[in-house]
Amino acid sequence: LEKLDDLRKSYAKSTDHAESLEVIELEKTNVINESRLFLEGYRQEFPIKYYFLNPVKLSFKFLIPRSVEGIPLPSREEMNVFQFGFKAFQTLFFYFINLAVILGILLVFAKKNTHKGWFEVFLLIGVPLSMFITLVFYFGWIEFRYFMPITPFFVIFSAIPINGIIQKAKIFVSKF
C-alpha cells in the first residue's frame, strides 16, 4: 500500500508544471515502470481474476452502467423536474435497448432451427460479438466511442423483439 502511495506521489510530480522538464520526464518514466511492475504482480497473483473476471465485470458495466452519460445536464441537485425526467428516460431507454439486443440475439438462435442459413446467422452475430470480446477482454475498453461500429448490429438485433411487441400490440388492439 505504501508503494502505491509512492506511485501516486510520483504521478502527481510528473504532472506538476512547476518542475523542470528533466524531472517531469524522469518521474513519468518511473511511474510507467512502477505501474508495469504492479500490473505484472497482479497478473501473477490473480490470473483468473485478471484474465476472466475483470473483463466479465467490464462487460456488465457496459451493458448495465450505473449511469448513462453524454447529455450535458447539471448535477442532480440542480436539475429541474424536466431535466431529471429526461435523464431517467435516457437511462431507462438505454437499458431497454440493451435488453432488446440480448433478447434479439437469443430469438435469432431460437428461431433458426434449420441448418440452412447458419453462416449468415453466425456472421451477423459473430462480427459484433468478436468486436465486443476483443474490446472488452483484450483491450479492456468499455467507452462508448469504441463500440460505434457495433451500433448497426444493435439496431438490427433490438428491432427483432420490438417488432414482435408491436405485432402483439396490433393483435391485442384489433380485438377491441
Cα 92 to Cα 62: distance, rounded to the nearest angstrom: 14
Secondary structure class of 114 (helix, strand, coil): coil
137-173: pLDDT as tens digits: 777 766 666 667 777 777 777 787 878 777 777 777 7
Spell out the long-range contacts of 68-71 with Cβ–Cβ below 8 A and sequence spacing 24 or more. 68/94, 70/144
In this prediction, residue 95 carries a pLDDT of 82
In this prediction, residue 118 carries a pLDDT of 67
The CA-based dihedral angle spanning residues 13, 17, 18, 20, taken in that order and rounded to the nearest 10 degrees: 80
Burial environment of residue 58 by CB neighbours within 10 A (0 to 12, 13 to 18, 19 or more): middle
Parts of the chain with a pLDDT under 70 = 1, 67-71, 112-118, 120, 141-147, 176
